[in-house]
A = this chain, B = another copy of it.
Amino acid sequence: MTDIEKQTEERIFESATEIFIEKGMDGARMQDIADHAGINKALLHYYYRSKEHLFEAVFEKMAAVMFSRFSPVFDEKTSLEDKIRFFFREHISFLQKNPRLPAFILNEVNRNPARIKKLIQRYNINEFWNTLESQHHDELIRYNIRREKMAQLMTSIAAISIFPFAARGIMEVLFEKSGQDFNDYLEQRKDFAAEFVIRALKGSGTE
């Protein structure tokens, strides 16, 4: 299906996604979205009642896309270490294709925390922790990871994967000045991150 054949509603949604991710809710203009989609402002309101409605549609879709990338980790019947390797490889690869997504989601959630609440319930995010704990009960004991340290570990893993994208604006400037390449850095990070976390885990063992 070419751009021209696409239905109007779909073109509006895709344009809105691009503009909202680029400019944020407050910075985005309905006119920009209409121009990008090659239609007029009135049609935006015909399909989506208001800017707020259009934004919500985009935000919920993007948040769903992002969360859905986590779930394969919980299906794998592998060791915790291999899951960590799998996660960083998949997650960073995904973010390489959607580099602006983390900053968009994080920023809009901070601006309006209510947005995330319904999503957390819908996708039952909290269950993930329990799933992981039951899947890797023995390994977690071996690594001396008790309940309260689970949050520390999980958020550290998320941080190492997501932060370079959330801080992309700063990192690209820093890398440019020191002659490094951000894409090379990201490629290396897939393995570095996994081994980094696994070494930290092994060092905490009780065995």
Contact = CB atoms under 8 A, between A and B. Distances in A.
Interface stretch (A2-10, A52-60, A71-79, A156-164): A156-164
Contacts of A148: 180, 184-185, 188
A178 B126 contact: yes
Size class of the contact patch on chain A: 35 or more
The main secondary structure of chain A at its interface with chain B is helix
Copies of this protein chain in the complex: 2
A102 to B, nearest CB: 9
Contacts of A107: 24, 103, 107
Interface string A166-204: 111111111101101000110011001101110111111
A141 interface: no
Contact of A173 (B106, B116, B163, B202): B116
Given A116-B169, A174-B125, A27 B111 contact: yes
A174 B120 contact: yes
A41 B175 CA distance: 41
Given A178-B129, A199-B199, A109 B170 contact: yes
Given A106-B103, A169-B116, A155 B151 contact: no
A138 interface: no
A26 interface: yes
Interface in A125-142: 125-126, 129
A144 to B, nearest CB: 11
A68 interface: no
Contact of A24 (B111, B151, B193, B196): B111
A105 to B, nearest CB: 8
Given A27-B111, A113-B169, A151-B180, A197 B199 contact: no
